[in-house]
Amino acid sequence: FSRYFYYRENQLFCENIPIKEIASKVGTPFYLYSKQAILDRIDQYKKAFEEYNTLICYAAKANSNLSILKIFEENDLGLDIVSGGELYKAKKAGFPSNKIVYAGVGKTDFELEYAIRENILSFNVESEMEIDVLDELAEKLNKTVRISIRVNPDVDPKTHPYISTGLRKSKFGIDIDEALNVYRKAVKKKNIDVIGIHCHIGSQIMEISPYVEAVEKTAELVFRLKKEGIELQHFDIGGGIGIRYRPEDNPPTPEDLAKAVIPIVRTTGLRLIIEPGRSLIGEAGALITQVVFLKNKGDKHFIIVDSGMNDLLRPAMYNAYHHILSVEKKERKVVADIVGPICETGDFFALDREIDDVQRKDYLAVMSAGAYGSSMSSNYNVRPRAAEVLVSDNSFYLIKEREDYSYITKLEEDAMASLITE
C-alpha cells in the first residue's frame, strides 16, 4: 500500500514488523501507526515551506494521542487546537504556548480563561461576540490576548459537504465582507491585540485551486486593512490537504500547496501559518481488526469483524472509503460487506468490496485510518476504545492501553451506589 505498509512473503508489514506478530501480542482491535511515515511527512512539509517564514501547526483533532503529539512537538511543530481538552494535552506533550493557535465557534468561558492564562499565540476568533467576551475575560484576568479573525472566504473546496467549512452558509468564521468592520471594532478593544487573519475552507481537499481562491480573497482583505493602518503579523491558511484513501488517489502534496500559496502570502509580507492535520498522520495509521464470523444471506457475503463504527466512524458518517487489506494475503478473492458488531445498519467498513477470502480469526487492516480514527471513537454499545500502537523500525510500543469495562463504568458507579442508599 505504501513504503510503510507493504507485503513481504504474503505477510503485511508495518515498517519492519509483521502486523500479525503485533496483533497476537496486543489483541484486537488496535490502531497502528508508523513513526517513519509521520517523520517523513513532517520533513516533506518542512522542506516545502522552508523558503518562507512559516509556522506549521499540526491540527490536534486529527489524532491527539500524547505520544503522537510528542513526535510533532519534538520536531518543532506548533499546534492547532479546538478545545480546552486539546490545550491540556498540548501542555502535557510540551508544546510551548507561543506555538499554539486556538480555533472553534463555541469556546466556553472556562476554555477561554484557560487559554488566556496559558498565554497562547493566537485565538482564531469566529464571531463578534467571542471578541467581546475575550476582551472582558482578559480584562478580568489583567491580560492582553492576541487574536486572529477567522474569515469565511466563501469558497467551495469540492469535498464532502460535512467537511466543507468555507462556504458562506456554514457556521464557521466571519463573512469576508463583514470582516473589515469587525477588525475596525476589534482593534479598539483595550485588552485585545489583533495580530492575524485566519481562513480554513475544509478538509480532504484534492485540488489546489480552492486554496488559491481563498488565499487571494483573504490577501485582498489584508491589503485593505493595511490601508486603514491595521497591521497584522500572520496569515493562517488553515489545513485541509487530502490524502490517499484509494490506492489510485492522487492528492496534492505539501510542495503543491507551498508553490501555490507562498507567492500570494509573500505579497502581504506576513508570517505564514498552516494547520495540516490529516495529511500529517492519516496515511501513517491503520486500524487492525480480527474476523469474528462469516455469514451468507442470499447472495450476500458478510465478513463480521471485532471493530466497529465506535472505533472508526468515517464510513458510517461520511460514507468514506477506506482501503482494506488482509494481514495475510490470500489466493482467492470474494465480494463482501465488511461490517462491525454494532446494532446499526451504518456500522460497516466497506460494502460490496472485493477482498481476500479471509476466514474466522484472520486479521484485516483498515488503511489510512491515522487521522479522525481514534480521535472520533466512542464507547457506543459499551465497547472499550481500542489500543494504540506505534511502530518504529522493528520495535513496537503500546501508546494507549485498551480500555476495560471498569474504566468505562468508573464515573457512574458512585452515583449509582448513592442513589440506591438514598
Q: Which positions make up the binding site for pyridoxal 5'-phosphate?
A: 240, 275-278, 372
**Distance between first and last Cα of the chain:** 59
State which residue, 356 or 370, has the beta carbon closest to ligand LLP: 370
Conformation bin of residue 316: beta by default, left when phi > 0, alpha when psi is -120 to 50 = alpha
Cα separation, 51 vs 41, whole angstroms:
17
Give min distance, CB of 279 to ligand LLP, in A. 6
Cα-flanking dihedrals φ and ψ of residue 299, to 5°?
-95, 15
Q: Are 58 and 68 in contact (CB under 8 A)?
A: no
Give min distance, CB of 285 to ligand LLP, in A. 12
Cα separation, 33 vs 14, whole angstroms:
8
* Active-site annotation holder among 14, 57, 199, 343: 343
Active-site annotation holds for 14? no
State which residue, 152 or 279, has the beta carbon closest to ligand LLP: 279
Per-residue buried b or exposed e for 248-264, using 16+ beta carbons within 10 Å of the residue's own CB: eeebbebeebbeebbeb
State which residue, 64 or 165, has the beta carbon closest to ligand LLP: 165
Cα separation, 294 vs 257, whole angstroms:
44
Q: Residue 239, interface with ligand LLP (CB under 6 A)?
A: yes
Cα separation, 411 vs 366, whole angstroms:
32
Name which of residues 361 to 380 contact ligand LLP (CB under 6 A): 371-372, 376
Per-residue buried b or exposed e for 286-296, using 16+ beta carbons within 10 Å of the residue's own CB: bbbbbbeebee
Q: Are 296 and 331 in contact (CB under 8 A)?
A: no
C-alpha cell at 1: 500500500
Binding residue for ligand LLP, selected from 12, 26, 93, 103, defined by CB under 6 A:
103
State which residue, 138 or 369, has the beta carbon closest to ligand LLP: 369
Q: Determine the residue type at 264.
A: I
Conformation bin of residue 119: beta by default, left when phi > 0, alpha when psi is -120 to 50 = left
Name which of residues 278 to 317 contact ligand LLP (CB under 6 A): 278-279, 314
Per CB under 6 A, which region of 34-42, 106-114, 233-241, 321-329 contacts ligand LLP? 233-241
Give min distance, CB of 96 to ligand LLP, in A. 19
Residue given cell 469576508 in the structure block: 176
Q: What is the DSSP string of 181-197?
A: HHHHHHTT-TTEEEEEE
Per CB under 6 A, which region of 10-18, 33-41, 47-55, 236-244 contacts ligand LLP? 236-244
State which residue, 119 or 170, has the beta carbon closest to ligand LLP: 170
State which residue, 116 or 316, has the beta carbon closest to ligand LLP: 316
Residues of the binding site for substrate: 278, 314, 318, 344, 372
Binding residue for ligand LLP, selected from 276, 308, 315, 370, defined by CB under 6 A:
276
Q: Residue 89, interface with ligand LLP (CB under 6 A)?
A: no
Binding residue for ligand LLP, selected from 15, 80, 135, 283, defined by CB under 6 A:
80
Conformation bin of residue 393: beta by default, left when phi > 0, alpha when psi is -120 to 50 = left
How big is the site for ligand LLP, counted in residues (CB under 6 A)?
A: 24
* Closest by Cα among 280, 277, 279, 269 to 53: 269
Q: Residue 163, interface with ligand LLP (CB under 6 A)?
A: yes
Binding residue for ligand LLP, selected from 111, 275, 328, 362, defined by CB under 6 A:
275
Pattern 183-202, ligand LLP, x by CB under 6 A: -----------------x--
Residues of the binding site: 240, 275-278, 314, 318, 344, 372
Pattern 8-47, ligand LLP, x by CB under 6 A: ----------------------------------------
Per CB under 6 A, which region of 222-230, 273-281, 289-297, 346-354 contacts ligand LLP? 273-281
Q: Long-range contacts for 344-351 (Cβ within 8 Å, ≥24 apart)?
A: 344/309, 344/316, 346/309, 346/315, 346/316, 347/308, 347/309, 347/316, 348/309, 348/315, 348/316, 349/305, 349/307, 349/312, 349/315, 349/322, 349/324, 350/315, 350/321, 350/322, 350/324
Per CB under 6 A, which region of 108-116, 206-214, 277-285, 384-392 contacts ligand LLP? 277-285
C-alpha cell at 321: 472509503
Residues in touch with ligand LLP (CB under 6 A)? 59, 61-62, 80, 103, 163, 165, 200, 203-204, 238-241, 275-279, 314, 318, 371-372, 376
- For the annotated catalytic residues, the residue numbers are 343
